Amino acid sequence: MDIKQHLNDQRLLVETALNTFLPKEEGLLADHFAALRYSLVAGGKRIRPVLCMMTAEALGARMEACMAIPCALECIHTYSLIHDDLPAMDNDDLRRGKPTNHKVFGEAQAILAGDGLLTMAFALLSDDALPDRLSSADRLRIIHLIARAAGSHGMVGGQALDVASEGKTVPFETLAAIHASKTGALITASVQAGAILGGATTAQYEDLTAYGQHLGLAFQITDDLLNVEGSPAELGKAAGSDAARRKATYPGFFGVETTRRKAGEAIKAAVDRLAPFGTTATPLRELARYLLKRSK
Ligand code: GRG
């Protein structure tokens, strides 16, 4: 299959749906809604929503009526990028090839845009008027797992550990915990949400969870490599920032060559967990292989 084309098609579906869920830029809150829209439609690979969709589709689900859940994942991810770029955190000027949210709207409005996107995600997830035919129990399971993955036990906790570790010499266990929680948790949750949408059995859910965990690790290792070797023009953000901030990274621990091998091993481990699935899981397999070769 042409995974690049398939990813592009899926990305367009996500972007169309995001547009329908975003509040219109009118009325008293027009400027606030413009700040949400600015970052949400600024591009990006849409990996988390696409993973959710591909997982559900691997189990035979059709996603047309279920787009609120993938869109909620993208809202949470975009909020995290807006806050990560703030002066109090990474103080970055460029994201997805455009000036960062706080550069355009100011720091206070950027914080609020992030807050708005995070809470909008949970409004989308909990809207039981949606035509996705989820049972209330499954909807609650999805809300709970995404809340845990986004919060202190997941992405927020990983970011806290990352910020606290900057400029320090930390053991590999700390780096592993940062990667698993800051990046891995939301990626895994995207797969798990798709598994629930698709009606996974317990065994299928376990395999898909492991796929998500290995993929999340490979994704972050590749991000570490791109920060060393990538081009700012292609990345749409600064490169070399990890070394400048003395962040713990895989290349810092293992060097570039071993890191590349470890990324390949994580992708293989991810794909191996898809062995019980048939051809409907081909997009998940191809996506994993594609992420290893990504340049942005
Ligand atoms: C501020 C709570 C809070 C969390 C921030 C996501 C994050 C946590 C920080 C961004 C910095 C970073 C390099 C994180 C690692 C995860 C990662 C690779 C994020 C970028 O995700 P992509 O590559 O971005 O999916 P696009 O722009 O394609 O959506």
Atom of ligand 1 nearest to the CA of 219: 18
> Which two structure tokens, joined as six digits, stand for 181?
């929680």
Range of the domain at 80: 3-293
Give 99's strand partners: 94
Tell me the pLDDT of the chain (296 aa) as tens digits.
899 999 999 999 999 999 999 999 999 999 999 999 999 997 899 999 999 999 999 999 998 888 999 999 999 999 999 999 999 999 999 998 899 999 999 999 999 999 999 999 999 999 978 877 899 999 999 999 999 999 999 999 999 999 999 989 999 999 999 999 999 999 999 999 999 999 999 999 999 999 999 999 999 999 999 988 877 777 676 777 787 778 889 999 999 999 999 999 999 999 999 999 999 999 999 999 999 887 67
Q: Which residues line ligand 1 (CB under 6 A)?
A: 44-45, 47, 77, 80-81, 83-84, 96, 155-156, 159, 182-183, 220, 223
Q: In CATH, what number is assigned to the domain containing residue 110?
A: 1.10.600.10
Domains: count for the chain = 1
Nearest atom (ligand 1) to Cα of 150: 2
CA-nearest residue, atom 20 of ligand 1:
81
b/e code 239-277 from CB counts within 10 Å (16+ = b): beebeeeebbbbbbbbeeeebbebbeebbebbbebbeeb
